[in-house]
Amino acid sequence: MRKYKIAALIGMVIMGTGSFMACLCTAQAPAMIGNALLVISLFIMAYAFSSWQP
């Protein structure tokens, strides 16, 4: 159960970073990296919250 909590926390941190980059970066490359981080965090959080439900 502990690894799912950690995965959920990591997913939330990655989602925050990705949304910050995707919304506020003016250059195209960092904004695309932010979008990729958002997609990755969705997969991580789906894995974590499907096994652990607070």
Give per-residue pLDDT as tens, 22-48: 999 999 999 999 999 999 999 999 999
Instruction: Kindly tell me if the per-residue pLDDT of 53 is higher than 80.
Output: no
The yes-or-no verdict on residue 51 having pLDDT over 80 is yes
Asked whether the beta carbons of 7 and 44 are under 8 A apart, the reply is: yes
Instruction: Please tell me the predicted confidence (pLDDT) of residue 52.
Output: 76
Cα–Cα separations (whole angstroms), residue 17 to 9, 39, 43, 44, 54: 12, 12, 15, 14, 23
